[in-house]
Chains A and B, each alone.
Chain A
Amino acid sequence: NAGVTQTPKFRILKIGQSMTLQCTQDMNHNYMYWYRQDPGMGLKLIYYSVGAGITDKGEVPNGYNVSRSTTEDFPLRLELAAPSQTSVYFCASSLPGQINQPQHFGDGTRLSIL
């Protein structure tokens, strides 16, 4: 049981380049999330999805896009990379329901924009 898998683990981009961060989970979780974590800070929600075909903005969505064509996959797209997007990105998933449903995290993607 792999849980939540993120690829790549590390990436360096040049300003203006685009890339997709991949996230897949094998726990049949309906809910999936993308967070970013800047040094010394907590996690900030970028986008989330409550099921295939449904996505919504989180706290810091600008500069990102997502899609959810299947239950398993929730890719995050950066269209025009900017230095402010240098961060560690975590994907997470959980079962439906808001009460005491913890989130399971992937290992993270460390992204540097130079």
Chain B
Amino acid sequence: RKEVEQDPGPFNVPEGATVAFNCTYSNSASQSFFWYRQDCRKEPKLLMSVYSSGNEDGRFTAQLNRASQYISLLIRDSKLSDSATYLCVVNMGSGNTGKLIFGQGTTLQVKP
């Protein structure tokens, strides 16, 4: 089983749609969770951290389910500019190294 697993997609949605991505992780000791966005041939950029109670940033909502070991990202009112690859990122667990494991990413294409 991969340490961090995502459906690679692509997810093709019309503008204005709501779309959700899920990600599962294998290390139950993991304590930090993030969603990064990566545009084609660019570096990953932090979209948002994921907190235990869930958190929202504008049109983006992230949820964490520790019992089932998955995190989710919900995008409401999709914009053309949301087209990108979304990387699920999880830390390695105990220890103070900040080592992160990246999923392979889920590709989103928002169509006019």
- Mutual binders A and B: yes
- In angstroms, Cα B51 to Cα A105, docked, is 22
Q: Is the CB of A107 within 8 A of B32?
A: no
One of B13-21, B38-46, B69-77 at the interface: B38-46
**Is B99 an interface residue, CB under 8 A from the partner?**
yes
* Identity of the chain A residue whose Cβ is nearest the Cβ of B88 in the assembled complex: A42
A97 touches which of B4, B98, B103 (Cβ 8 Å)? B98
- In angstroms, Cα B97 to Cα A90, docked, is 18
Q: Is the CB of B96 within 8 A of A96?
A: yes
Which B residues lie within 8 Å of A41 (CB)?
Answer: 104
Q: Is the CB of A56 within 8 A of B97?
A: yes
**Is A86 an interface residue, CB under 8 A from the partner?**
no
Counting chain A residues whose Cβ lies within 8 A of the other chain, the interface size class is 20 to 34
- In angstroms, Cα B51 to Cα A97, docked, is 16
Interface residues of B in 27-62 (CB under 8 A from A): 31-32, 34, 41-46, 49, 51
* Residue from B8, B44, B103 with most neighbouring chain A CB atoms (10 Å): B44
A42 touches which of B42, B91, B98, B105 (Cβ 8 Å)? B105
Q: Shortest beta-carbon distance, B21 to chain A, in Å?
A: 14
**In the complex, the 3 A-B pairs of residues with the closest C-beta atoms, listed nearest first:** A105-B43, A42-B104, A42-B102
